[in-house]
Amino acid sequence: MNLYLRYFDRETLVSSVDEAIDFLSAIEEVGMNPVLEADIREYAASDVFYPKRYKVRPRVYFIIIKTEAQSMQDFKEKKAVHVGTPPMTKPAAPALVRLNEIRPGWYEGMIDFKRVLMVPGTGKFQYRDTQFIANVKAESGMDCYNRIVEHLRERVDDRSQFPSAKGKNFKFRYLGQAK
């Protein structure tokens, strides 16, 4: 396994981690240190084949890519692309499946949204992270989300921003049916 390294227009293809560390040590901006060296060694020893990006300073990175290529030309022509296990079709995430599952009853919904509030001292408006939790009678998780957002839209500033029901800022759990 070889390593391809690039920092702006400087690039190399090396056959060992020590060569990679020597290459990076020659670049002053990278600032090679024991922590970075240990992380590069760990990446090279791992079974991970995706490229690794290291931050040098804001918006400036160098990358390391594992490759089977024996020369820079082979790497550039993508002759030694790593062929892993064929990608399996990814099953739908359980939360997304549960979101549309029809199950009438009571739900506890929790939504984190950006609420527009006026700052009393200045009269200006700002966004505040706000959490809202409610027990809602609904047909599904998606219905629970829609009812909560509908309720909030009537009571908060129109400029408030609500997250997607599929995102991490909306959670729900089924409480059961009313008796």
- Tell me the H-state helices in 63-140: 72-76, 94-100
54 within 8 A of 27, measured Cβ to Cβ: no
pLDDT at 142: 94
* Of residues 2 and 80, more confidently modeled: 2
Strand order in the sheet with 60-67: 10-14, 2-7, 60-67, 52-57
Query: What was the pLDDT predicted at 108?
Result: 95
What would the pLDDT profile of 102-157 be if each residue is shown by its tens digit? 999 999 999 999 999 999 999 999 999 999 999 999 999 999 999 999 999 999 99
Q: Write the pLDDT tens digit of every residue in 3-34.
A: 989 988 889 999 999 999 999 999 888 888 89
- The CA R_g of the chain, rounded to the nearest whole Å, is 26
Are 11 and 4 in contact by the 8 Å Cβ rule? The answer is yes
Q: Which amino acid belongs to residue 83?
A: V
Whole-angstrom Cα distance, residue 51 to residue 160?
38
Q: 169 pLDDT exceeds 60? A: yes
User: In which band, very low, low, confident or very high, does the pLDDT at 87 lie, cut at 50, 70 and 90?
Assistant: low
Residues 92-110 pLDDT 10s? 556 678 888 899 999 999 9
pLDDT for the residue 69 = 84
Q: Where does the pLDDT of residue 179 fall: very low under 50, low under 70, confident under 90, or very high at 90 and above?
A: low
pLDDT in tens, 35-82: 889 999 999 998 888 888 888 888 888 999 988 888 888 888 876 665
